[in-house]
Structure 1
Amino acid sequence: MTNDNPWKLWYSKPASMWEEALPIGNGRLGGMVFGGTHNERIQLNEDTLWSGIPGDKANLQAFPHLQQARKLVFDGDYSKAEELIENEMAGEDCEAYQPLGDLVIQHHFSDSDYIHQYRRELDLETGISLCEFMAGSTKYKRETFISAPHQVLAVQLQSNGQPLHISAHLDSKLRHGVQECSNKLILRGQSPFSVKVPNEVLYEETAGLQFEIHLQAFPNTGSVTVSNKMLEIKNADSVLLLLTAKTTFKKFDELPEPVLDTVAQQCGQWLCKASILPYENLREQHVKDHSGLFGRVDLHLGDSGRGHLPTDERLSRYKLDKRDSGLEALYFQYGRYLLISSSRKGSQPANLQGIWNPHVQPPWNSDYTTNINVQMNYWPAEVCQLEECHEPLFQMLEELSKTGARTAAVLYGAKGWAVHHNVDLWRMSTPSSGQASWAFWPLGGAWLCSHLWEHYSFNQDVQFLKEKAYPLMKGAAQFCLDWLVEGPEGYLVTNPSTSPENKFVAPDGKPCSISMASTMDMTLIRELFQNCLKASKILGIDESFHSMLEASLKRLYPFKINDKGCLQEWFQDFPEHEPGHRHVSHLYGLYPGNQINLKETPGLAEAARKSLERRLEYGGGHTGWSCAWLINLFARLQDGERAYSFIQTLLARSTHPNLLDDHPPFQIDGNFGGTAGIAEMLVQSHDEGIELLPAMPGSWPEGYVKGLKARGSFLVTIEWTGGQLKEAQISAVKAGWCEVHCGNAVLSIKKNNGMVYDGCQPFYMEKDESVTVTLASLKADYSR
């Protein structure tokens, strides 16, 4: 059995556990397809099904303690400051993302039938999961997908031989009941009011989201009966099952609908519109929508000769020898597929598990963790030409700017808006409960705003900058201006300050996280101020605010290099409590930021490198997402071999059989971070130009990539051989100046009109114009 399409995950047996099932989704609805023979299970999710209701979780007793905490920090009594913050200024945990339910399909075979020639697969190009097998002499085939144009899950079942005899029913781990209709089942359920207490799920009759799942059967022949809360289809050659679902969620700041009338009506409309189409048309429209996004980028890293193997077997072999360039390319495209499937215009953003969660009490509530994880989800969005998938994050930012404005005012007496490290459907922006090392970090909004600027940088959309990005960036900057206080030597510092989730050893010998001016804090604020200044200049607005930012920018506490030559993580060179910590927040300026780079700050770049080496020496990068971050950091250092080694580690150590990231447990950010890292090894554009093949490892001697995007709104296609550039095409989506580099190469850049430039010379490109880039020569002393 061969696998001609390189963008397929395929298996020779059904999934025996959730981490082997295959994910499908349209941003709003998600499904995990197990591919069973006698019993097929599709575990379902809907992106607005969360516990809880809207509400203000601000600790109204926190603000009076702020000045005392600051004084303790300035006096060097960090442990007491941390104790005060945890006792008096912490808040409540966020709500949890919930599982919707299960669609269970039973095939009724005769006792003499046996299963053979089994195959299940997920086609990343089409977004369709296929399961086919022989039962005796009859071939059975199931295609499953979730349509974004029609907002339904479709399962097409076919048999070639014996007529189909199947039954289907719905189930849910949440409180629910099932109603029978003529050829339809409706499951009505309710999400918990709270799941915050371990092993305790609380319901309230008058509070919490309600939901419905509608399932309908459309056989081509035969009969459909409904009994015992089950659909039964007999004597059909094929049958189409259509499923959709919706909750009573209205808005993040409004109570859910009290009744299910609107939900029932909407589900009925979706099913009606989908059911009037022949299956082939429904499928075709889904594929056109999905492949229109997926097909923008192609990647070939060489032929490892293992494409004929089932994906789980390929992964098992990779764990042994870390050698399969085809699997590495598949992993890259899988990350793009997952973003398309979990984040679409109008949906919620991708959370810690994308959109796929089977647990009522999921790990870390399957929330939006803003001190790295939700941002990592969107690292591949722009460079991998999926800018539309970024939109749900921007919508969440608009909503957070409203809840975050109250957080800034009530907790800190500040203008603007602030977000801490946990966010949920209801846009909680306050500190969570627990240790200050994670709970007390009000700069989530500053980090999230970097995505607004990145979207502008890649797309040059001035309207987006004016109407959405700049107002949100300005609000976050206003908070930062008020949050900063004068510290040692007249510098502006954050106080209290943490370096997310990490701790140092305080002078009293205790592990502690609270001090002032963490490198992460100062880097984020510096970047935000700089981006606001660029935006206000482009838009020609806000001169007085511009002046305030410039004055404050000059006074921000600077980067420091410690005696070990490492980039200092805190304002003082404290001893590290955990030298191999998974977070490397102080290296934000290297990636995803660009304040530290090889061209302008080589000393800081070397200090960042030494920081990475020290972390790794003590066991850092041991979780899936932190390993993915390392790929990107070493790519920015143009160290292709080290970057590649962590691609190998990510696949060999932190990947489930279905290629989902294993934190452990499953957490999707590692997939997205890995995809972004591979792109970063092939194209970089953070440094006032386009750098081709900046971190090319020896394990990819031949290959090509088509359709990556660079800042300035350029599309990039590269072909290489012998580890060197063969030819590249640069196309301008919008008119603008372009500059192209490729390591120590002298480039020849040829326009369509015959004009030729060398790679050190910026040149202007009209909209839709393209140039061809070739290697003129190598020069050992080449320097930009």
Structure 2
Amino acid sequence: MTADRKKSWVMSYLKPASKWEEALPLGNGRMGAMVYGGIVKEEFQLNEDTLWSGFPRDSVQYNSLRYLNKSRALINEGKYKEAENLINTHMLGKDSEAYQPMGHLIMEQEGLVDVQDYRRELDLSTGISHTSFQSGDTRYIRESFISAVDQVMVVTLSAKGSAKINVKAMLESPHQPRISVKEDQTVVLKGRCPSHIESNYFRDHPQSILFEEGLGVGFELHIKAVAQGGTLSLTNNVLHVHDAESVTFYMTAVSEFEKFDVMPGSTGKDIDEVCSNVLRQAIRIGERACYDRHVKDHTELFGRVDLHLGSSTNSILPTDVRLKAYQDGEQDSELEALYFQYGRYLLMASSRPGTQAANLQGIWNNSMEPPWGSEYTTNINTEMNYWLAEIGNLSECHEPLFDLIENLSTTGRRTANVNYQARGWAAHHNVDIWGQSTPSGGDASWAFWPMGGVWLTSHLWEHYLFTGDNEFLKNKAYPVMMGAARFCLDWLVEGPEGYLVTNPSTSPENKFLTPEGEPCSVSMASTMDMTLIRELFTNCLEAISILGLDGDFGMEISAAYERLYPFKIGEHGQLQEWFRDFEESEPGHRHVSHLYGVYPGHEINRFETPELIQAASTSLKRRITNGGGHTGWSCAWLINLYARLLDGESAYQFVHTLLARSTHPNLFDDHPPFQIDGNFGGAAGIIEMLLQSHLNEIHLLPALPSEWSKTGYIKGVKARGGFIIDMEWEKAKPVTVCIISELGEQCNLRTNTPLVLEDGTAIGKWDSLTEQFTLQLDTTRGEKIKLMAQN
């Protein structure tokens, strides 16, 4: 039953995983598993995306509004530290809840002797995990996958030789499990998540887990075995398989979770019946059909994009050995391409239409108290998770984030009103499945930042730019964008020189030095705040024009836009991070929030703001010189920033750094510890080096490094405006380019070499300012246009 595997997209290992960060991930967006590939003992660590601690609660800070004007007055007086202390004491809230593991499927195989020729693999192109080894004259094979089509995990054990399969399987869970067996020999595990977890990765107070009777998310996990030959038996809720030629385990799980604002278990949802029906249907159609349906679904998404960055002699080595060689200085462009496709695989596996959005760990978590609660951190990490979605031709995998944003626009209305007496909606930096939109506990430097919702709305607009979906813009995106803009209009106050500013304001997680030399995070008009608001206002105005809506609201936004506090350049020639040219408390800080306008925004660009591009470049150099980019996700952000600065060599330096310094043996990003945002951000950065489309044109090979310049191709990536691009290059120049317009729009191209149509017609003109060729293509008929390098 093993599928044909393109070697480029297979991760392989010659020994079982000895720890979680060596296991291999499976997922269908809703259910996830980490496969260890053990020999005698095989382990699948399991997740389901609605298993979180807690339940819907009121988290608004009723006293916050009482201190808002006082904090503003202190900031206006330059008493920044006093304002910070006031916010920390009176305007923060409680931590969000934590994402939970579901449990484990354990298999223990008997009768193995003198095991040899072991291999475990994950085929990214099919989503199949494959473990095999030799014992005596028998080859044992285990294949597993999690189907999005049939909503089951399927694990098949087979033997080729004289020996048979003898294995026992059992379920475990940390959530007060109760295990029973149905008449049809289905094993059922029932559990309930904690009602609350008091946990914060950074703080010293004791962590506690609270189980309250009847509260928390209840769930069921069902598993059933179907054997070919041999017999099945059950002893103490353990499945025993005796002398089978092969056996297939079908497993599914469902929770009581219904919606972010509905008490779990309150609607009478029969999760036992749901699980039973799913298993019954999967078993009825059989292993082969489940396999075929899964592979068809998976390859339709994964196979849209292909990438080649050059050949590597190390491609025949196991993945962990290749990674170690790479860390020791050996080049491996095929490993870099594998890392890119792994990012796409992980997004497919952790975010599908109808599932929850990918959290800090995607969908994979083995701890009841995971780092940072494995929550949604919206001051960079959640957004970075989805930088890859549109350009990686996985637009539908973006949808769970839109659902999360819509939920936050509901809970955030109350936050905006009660906390700040503002219209619209607001969300802060920590979010959970219950839609917490209020400040968390902790310190103002991270907890007090009501711009999280503003940043998230950029994803709605980006989806529109890539798809041109006017119904999406009208019915889903614009109403949410408008709500966030209304909050900004009310949150802005008059500041220095009559400008509109945010006050209080922080630059996420960073601190400056006050005139008295004290580290402090609170002032007004951080560059990040003002950039986000300018971008949102611009997007709203464009949406209003497209949809022909809200003339009065558009005028209100336009009037405020003209008064927004502008960018400033500091004494070192750097882009200022705060409204004053404060000295930085930590010059090598991991966040580079003030550079948002370079990436993922585009307000700072080489055509319209060349002086700000230079200032941003200076800021970036200063940050890196002082140790910046030292975490996985921060390193990934630097790739994208340098790509936008058209500095391919520096961008590649951080591709290499991300893989060599911040990557686990299973290629998970190592923050440290594991966070998945580095995987997604790094993959997005690789595309950004090869193709950009944020300035109303498609720029080919804008930041191609010398390591990839000899020969390569990328196929199936998307550009804003609804274009799909295939491109091959040699000696750092495109040799063939194929473009399809899905929306029938005209295409503007920028390239470093003259291109001609298939009939030899030369097109394009030389731009002496940028030393590039620019050309317009008539792609309005939606046909594929092929271009070639001019001889």
Q: TM-score range by the shorter chain?
A: over 0.9
Letter in 2 for 1:509: G
Deviation at 1:756, TM superposition (A): 4.8
Q: What is the aligned counterpart of 1:228 among 236, 253, 272?
A: 236
1:569 maps onto 2:583 in alignment: no
Deviation at 1:747, TM superposition (A): 3.5
Q: What is the aligned counterpart of 1:381 among 378, 389, 405?
A: 389
Deviation at 1:183, TM superposition (A): 2.1
1:109 maps onto 2:123 in alignment: no
Asked if 1 retains the 8 angstrom alpha-carbon contact of 2:6 and 2:125, the reply is no
Greater mean deviation of Cα atoms: 39-48 or 202-211? 202-211
Q: What is the aligned counterpart of 1:348 among 356, 359, 373?
A: 356
Deviation at 1:766, TM superposition (A): 2.3
Asked if 2 retains the 8 angstrom alpha-carbon contact of 1:336 and 1:675, the reply is yes
Q: Distance in 2 between matches of 1:418 and 1:626?
A: 25
Q: Distance in 2 between matches of 1:195 and 1:547?
A: 46
Residues 384-395 of structure 1 aligned to structure 2 (within 5 Å): 384-395=392-403
User: Corresponding residue for 1:602?
Assistant: 610
Per-residue displacement from partner, 1:455-483 (whole Å, max 9, x unpaired)? 00011111111111111100000000000
Residues 320-331 of structure 1 aligned to structure 2 (within 5 Å): 320-331=328-339
Q: What is the aligned counterpart of 1:708 among 717, 729, 740?
A: 717
- What is the TM-score when the length of structure 2 is the normalising length? 0.96
Per-residue displacement from partner, 1:681-715 (whole Å, max 9, x unpaired)? 00000011000000000001210000110000001
Q: Distance in 2 between matches of 1:509 and 1:391?
A: 46
Per-residue displacement from partner, 1:643-673 (whole Å, max 9, x unpaired)? 0000000000000000000000000000000
Q: Distance in 2 between matches of 1:126 and 1:4?
A: 10
User: Corresponding residue for 1:6?
Assistant: 8
User: Corresponding residue for 1:157?
Assistant: 157
Residues 95-494 of structure 1 aligned to structure 2 (within 5 Å): 95-109=97-111, 113-161=113-161, 162-181=163-182, 182-197=184-199, 198-258=206-266, 262-494=270-502
Letter in 2 for 1:151: Q
SS in 2 for 1:6: helix
1:742 maps onto 2:751 in alignment: yes
| Structure 1 spans left out of the alignment, 5+ residues | 778-784
Q: Distance in 2 between matches of 1:752 and 1:272?
A: 58
Deviation at 1:746, TM superposition (A): 3.5
User: Corresponding residue for 2:680?
Assistant: 672
User: Corresponding residue for 2:31?
Assistant: 29
Q: Distance in 2 between matches of 1:753 and 1:727?
A: 13
User: Corresponding residue for 1:503?
Assistant: 511
Letter in 2 for 1:195: I
Q: Distance in 2 between matches of 1:318 and 1:686?
A: 32
Cα distance change on mapping 1:218 and 1:3 into 2, 3 Å? closer
User: Corresponding residue for 2:768?
Assistant: none
Deviation at 1:238, TM superposition (A): 0.7
Q: What is the aligned counterpart of 2:548 among 540, 555, 570?
A: 540
| Structure 2 spans left out of the alignment, 5+ residues | 200-205, 766-772
Per-residue displacement from partner, 1:498-529 (whole Å, max 9, x unpaired)? 00000001122211000000000000000000
Asked if 2 retains the 8 angstrom alpha-carbon contact of 1:211 and 1:260, the reply is no
Q: Distance in 2 between matches of 1:116 and 1:65?
A: 69
Q: Distance in 1 between matches of 2:777 and 2:634?
A: 38
SS in 2 for 1:581: coil
- What is the TM-score when the length of structure 1 is the normalising length? 0.97
Deviation at 1:7, TM superposition (A): 0.1
Letter in 2 for 1:107: Q
Greater mean deviation of Cα atoms: 756-765 or 672-681? 756-765
Q: Distance in 2 between matches of 1:739 and 1:547?
A: 31
SS in 2 for 1:126: coil
User: Corresponding residue for 2:784?
Assistant: 770
Deviation at 1:176, TM superposition (A): 1.1
Letter in 2 for 1:143: E
User: Corresponding residue for 1:66?
Assistant: 68
Q: Distance in 2 between matches of 1:126 and 1:534?
A: 40
Q: Distance in 2 between matches of 1:753 and 1:474?
A: 49
SS in 2 for 1:165: strand
Deviation at 1:173, TM superposition (A): 1.6
Per-residue displacement from partner, 1:556-602 (whole Å, max 9, x unpaired)? 00001111010000000001000000000000000000001112211
Q: What is the aligned counterpart of 1:725 among 734, 750, 774?
A: 734
Asked if 1 retains the 8 angstrom alpha-carbon contact of 2:750 and 2:775, the reply is no
Deviation at 1:322, TM superposition (A): 4.6
Cα distance change on mapping 1:38 and 1:581 into 2, 3 Å? same
Cα distance change on mapping 1:261 and 1:253 into 2, 3 Å? closer
Q: Distance in 2 between matches of 1:473 and 1:317?
A: 47
Deviation at 1:443, TM superposition (A): 0.5
Asked if 2 retains the 8 angstrom alpha-carbon contact of 1:580 and 1:616, the reply is yes
User: Identity over aligned residues, as a percent?
Assistant: 54
Q: Number of paired residues?
A: 772
Asked if 1 retains the 8 angstrom alpha-carbon contact of 2:5 and 2:125, the reply is no
Letter in 1 for 2:776: P
Q: Distance in 1 between matches of 2:603 and 2:155?
A: 50
SS in 2 for 1:760: strand
Deviation at 1:761, TM superposition (A): 3.9
Deviation at 1:199, TM superposition (A): 3.8
Cα distance change on mapping 1:245 and 1:698 into 2, 3 Å? same
Deviation at 1:258, TM superposition (A): 5.0
Per-residue displacement from partner, 1:46-78 (whole Å, max 9, x unpaired)? 000000010111111111100000000111100
Deviation at 1:773, TM superposition (A): 2.6
Q: Distance in 2 between matches of 1:102 and 1:79?
A: 48
Asked if 1 retains the 8 angstrom alpha-carbon contact of 2:762 and 2:790, the reply is no
SS in 2 for 1:285: helix
Per-residue displacement from partner, 1:212-234 (whole Å, max 9, x unpaired)? 10010000122111111200011
Cα distance change on mapping 1:354 and 1:767 into 2, 3 Å? farther
Tell me how large the CA RMSD over aligned residues is: 1.4
Q: Distance in 2 between matches of 1:767 and 1:11?
A: 48
Cα distance change on mapping 1:447 and 1:322 into 2, 3 Å? farther
User: Corresponding residue for 2:774?
Assistant: 760
Q: What is the aligned counterpart of 2:93 among 91, 94, 100?
A: 91
Cα distance change on mapping 1:225 and 1:747 into 2, 3 Å? same
Q: Distance in 1 between matches of 2:315 and 2:715?
A: 21
Per-residue displacement from partner, 1:292-346 (whole Å, max 9, x unpaired)? 0000000001111111100000000000115100000000000000000000000
1:45 maps onto 2:51 in alignment: no
